[in-house]
Amino acid sequence: MVKNMAQSLPQIPGVRLSAVPAKIKNWQRDDLLLIEVAEGASVSATFTQNAFCAAPVLVARKHIAAGNIRALLINAGNANAATGERGLADANRCCEGVAQALGIQPTQVLPFSTGVIGEHLPVQRILDAIPAAAARLQSDAWQAAAQAIMTTDTRPKTASRTVEIAGETITIAGIAKGAGMIQPNMATMLAYVATDAAIPQLILDTLVKEAVAASFNRISVDGDTSTNDACVLIASGATGEVIGDVNSEAYAQLKAAIVEVHIALAQAIVKDGEGATKFVTVQVNNAGNSAEALRTAFEIGESPLVKTALYASDPNWGRLVMAIGNAGLENLDTGKISIFLDDVQIVDAGGRADGYTEEAGQAVFDKSEFTITVDLQRGDTCEHIWTCDFSHEYVTINAEYRT
C-alpha cells in the first residue's frame, strides 16, 4: 500500500542536504543547495533536449556517465547557459569546490544551475559558500532545499510517498522547481527525487525515464523548453531489499510510488505556472496511437488562444476545434469528434452538441481546475497532459524577469 506523506518530507537514509546563501543575485535568501549521497548509491538523470543546453548540463552528462556520483550542487539565480568555454570552466570549478569540501573526486559531482541565461556564473561566491554548505549537511533539510532552488516560483514544490514491499517500508521524497519556460521533452524544470530502496544502476536508468515520461513530459505552461532541464533520481540503497527485476511485483510497486511523486511534483509546477489561475487536464481518448493523442493534447494545452480563453473563463469552444485541427492528424474525420468540459458535452459529431448551453460551459470554465476531454474516434489509445492559462501576470513576470 502506498501512503501519501504530503505534510512534511521524510528523511532518506543515505541522503543529506544543505541550503545556504551564496548571494548569486541581490536577494536575501538561500540560493545554493548541496546534496550528498552515500557511497554505493545509484544516481540516474534525464536532461534537457534543448540544443543550446547549459554548461552544467554538459558537465553533469559527462560525470553521470562515469558513475559513482556522490554529490549534487544546485544554484538559483544564474543558468550558466550560453556562456561558452568559460561557462564549462566555471561549472567544473564548482565541482572541484564540492570535491575538496567532501573529500571526493570532481567527477563524482553533478552541477546544476537555474536562472538568467547568458550571464557568467559568480563562481567565487559559490566557492566561498560551499564549505558552509558541506558543514551543515543534514538529512531533514528537504524543505529548505526546495526553497533554495526557486526562481520565479511562488512556493516550494515537494512530494513524498512510502510503500511497503515484502514487509519492508521504502520511502521516496522529492523536490522540484519550475513556473515558466515549461514544455515537455524532458519538461523545463529541476527535480530531485530520492529513495532508500536498493536499485541497480541499469534498472534505475530505466525507472527515471519511465517516471519522467509519465509526469514532467506531460506538462506545459508556455511551450518553451529550457536550456537547463534536469530530473535526478537517487537510490541510496539503505534498505536491504534489492529491486533487481523490472518484471517483479516489487518493481511494479516501487515504480508506482515513484511515479506518483513525479506526477505530484509535475502538477505542482503547472499549478504554480507564472501568473496561472487555472489547472487544466487535457484528456484525448480513442486516438490512433500515443503520438497523435499527445500531439492533439499539447496542441490544445499550448495554444495561446486556448490559454487566454481559460484565463478569461470563456468557454470559446471554437478555439478548441481550431487547436485540434492544427495537430496535423492524417485523414482526420472531424465529423466524429466529441469534446467535453468535465461531464458537459460541448461538441458532438464535429459540431455544437444538442442541448449544450453557454451557462453549462461557463460553469465549468469558472472552476480553477477542470478537464477538457476530446474523443477522436480513431482507435483505442488514450493520453493526457496538464496545462494552465495565460494571464496578464505571466506577461508582467517575464517582461520584468531581469529587473
100 or 6, higher pLDDT: 100
Could you read off the pLDDT of 359-374 as tens digits, one per residue?
999 999 999 999 999 9
**Could you tell me the pLDDT band of residue 221, with boundaries at 50, 70 and 90?**
confident
* Dihedral sign for Cα atoms in the order 167, 176, 146, 205: positive
CA distance linking residue 323 with residue 317, whole number of Å:
10
Confidence check: pLDDT of 6 > 60: no
Could you read off the pLDDT of 276-327 as tens digits, one per residue?
899 999 999 999 999 999 999 999 999 999 999 999 999 999 999 999 999 9
**Could you tell me the pLDDT band of residue 353, with boundaries at 50, 70 and 90?**
very high
Instruction: Find the mean pLDDT for residues 326-333.
Output: 94
- 356: closest CA among 304, 320, 303? 320
Give the model's pLDDT for residue 185. Answer: 64
Mean pLDDT of the chain: 92
Is 145 within 8 Å of 129 (Cβ atoms)? Answer: no
CA distance linking residue 403 with residue 399, whole number of Å:
9
Give the model's pLDDT for residue 4. Answer: 45
What's the one-letter identity of residue 333? D
Query: Is 188 a catalytic site residue?
Result: yes
What's the one-letter identity of residue 303? S
Confidence check: pLDDT of 5 > 60: no
- 123: closest CA among 149, 98, 151, 153? 98
Out of 3.10.20.340, 3.40.1670.10, 3.60.70.12, 3.60.20.10, which CATH number does the structure's domain 279-399 have? 3.10.20.340
The fraction of the chain above a pLDDT of 70, given in percent, is 94
Could you read off the pLDDT of 110-155 as tens digits, one per residue?
999 998 899 999 999 999 999 999 999 999 999 999 999 998 888 9
Q: DSSP 3-state assignment of 35?
A: strand
Is 279 within 8 Å of 394 (Cβ atoms)? Answer: no
Confidence check: pLDDT of 184 > 70: no
Is 262 within 8 Å of 213 (Cβ atoms)? Answer: no
Could you read off the pLDDT of 148-171 as tens digits, one per residue?
999 888 899 999 999 999 899 999
- Ranges for all domains in the chain classified under CATH 3.10.20.340: 279-399
- Ranges for all domains in the chain classified under CATH 3.60.70.12: 2-271
Give the model's pLDDT for residue 1. Answer: 37
CA distance linking residue 176 with residue 230, whole number of Å:
10
Give the model's pLDDT for residue 259. Answer: 97
CATH match of 2-271 with 3.60.70.12: yes
Angle, in degrees to the nearest 10, between helices 123-135 and 84-102: 20
C-alpha cell belonging to residue 89: 570552466
Give the model's pLDDT for residue 320. Answer: 97
- Cα 204 to Cα 37, 142, 155, 207, 269, distances in angstroms: 15, 22, 29, 5, 24
Q: Which of 48, 151, 188, 225 is catalytic?
A: 188
Is 297 within 8 Å of 282 (Cβ atoms)? Answer: yes
C-alpha 16: how far from chain center: 21
- 239: closest CA among 164, 173, 139? 164
**Could you tell me the pLDDT band of residue 2, with boundaries at 50, 70 and 90?**
very low
Instruction: Find the mean pLDDT for residues 71-96.
Output: 97
DSSP strand pairing (190-195 vs 369-375): unpaired
- Tell which phi-psi region holds residue 237, choosing left (phi > 0), alpha (psi between -120 and 50) or beta: left
Q: What is the DSSP string of 207-263?
A: HHHHHHHTTGGGEESSS---SS-EEEEEE---SS-B---TTSHHHHHHHHHHHHHHH
Confidence check: pLDDT of 3 > 50: no
Give the model's pLDDT for residue 393. Answer: 79
C-alpha cell belonging to residue 270: 503547472
* Dihedral sign for Cα atoms in the order 296, 297, 298, 302: positive
Q: In the block, which residue shows the cell 543515505?
A: 14
- Cα 329 to Cα 22, 220, 288, 304, 375, distances in angstroms: 50, 21, 9, 20, 13
Confidence check: pLDDT of 189 > 90: no
Angle, in degrees to the nearest 10, between helices 304-311 and 290-301: 50
CA distance linking residue 94 with residue 288, whole number of Å:
48
C-alpha cell belonging to residue 98: 564540492
